[in-house]
A and B are shown apart, each in its own frame.
Chain A
Amino acid sequence: MPTPIDRDQVQQLLEQGAQLVEVLPEDEYEYEHLPGAIDIPLKTLDAESVRALDRGRPVIVYCYDYQ
């Protein structure tokens, strides 16, 4: 089960080499995103689109807020 984390934990995981993934549509990603994040919109999240991710490193996903 995915682990919910807060802002401090995000920063700690990033220091340890985690990957950041925004799952909002591309226009919202272009508007604003966390430094270093890549965009894989939820609607396109499949075996093909996740090839950009390293399976050996933690992955942090986020969207705008608690929606």
Chain B
Amino acid sequence: MTAPTLDTAPLRPPGPRAHLTDQRVRDALTVQQHLLTAARAFLHDAGFAETLPPVIGPVTDPGGRGSKQVDVDFYGHPYKLMTSAILYKQTSLLAFRKIFCIAPNVRLEPLETADTSRHLAEFHQLDVEVAGASREEITRLAADLVVHMVRAAVAALPEVFARLGRDTSAFAGLTPGGFPSLTHAEAVALLRQRGHEQSPDAEIDWRGEVLLSAARTGPFFVVDYPKGSRGFYDRESTTTPGALRNFDLIAPEGYGELCSGSERTHTYAEIVTRMRETGENPQKYRWYLDVVREGVPASSGFGIGVERLTRYVCGLDAVWQANAYPKLPGVVSP
């Protein structure tokens, strides 16, 4: 097994029978189960409540990068399938101080993402939210959680990793205590040094993300994304206006982003203002705004892409190999 190159020819899933009986897929799904079991144990031990996330609602995460939402007719009212659990994660803190859930997300990503090896229109996220946590605390938690998940799977399934051809020495550097981080501005400067035209005001583009990732041997955080690149719920820094108190966790070896998270915008006026800055109509967020107007706890949280983490841990060519019924953007499939 070699790490993914930048210009692999697009791979497409075969039919469901061939896919589900493919030994690599079975092995990847086995590793995935161990990753999730380990995550549940780790979070339960740390005092987290597991919640069951809603699948539909009047409004969902507005998303970004051109991904579309799916409409559902709810007795004559326009509802959405969840693109992420973010709104419910924040309001669930009214019931529990520390929560997690494993949430299905549906995002109709632009057609050109079908061949990035990293996008599925339907995927799962291990979502975590902690009341009162700072970015420093939440990134530390994310790093320790990932380390625990990977170590547990590697320890339990040596024969599976051998069959997958994944050299587990790649994870030798995964130790508790956090991962290194660089700022978005530093990432932009690095990419430009390498001749990649990365906008300083935007999300790191997909190719840029692969370039950054390929140059590393261990996971790392990119922090302080600029405001125009993320949703209203990522909190803006009070000391560095325009910079968000957020982060992405990037896997090494070219596997790219595993996880996004942030300190949350949680005061009513700030949320409404940020909604306007992101072109959103506050009117449609009525239930959420009614709740936050009366107050929700300050918090930080993140969501780990379950299929993406599985892909990295197993050393798979494409993320769809880590999903039993993969749906690539624009590809009609079961």
Do A and B originate from a single complex? no
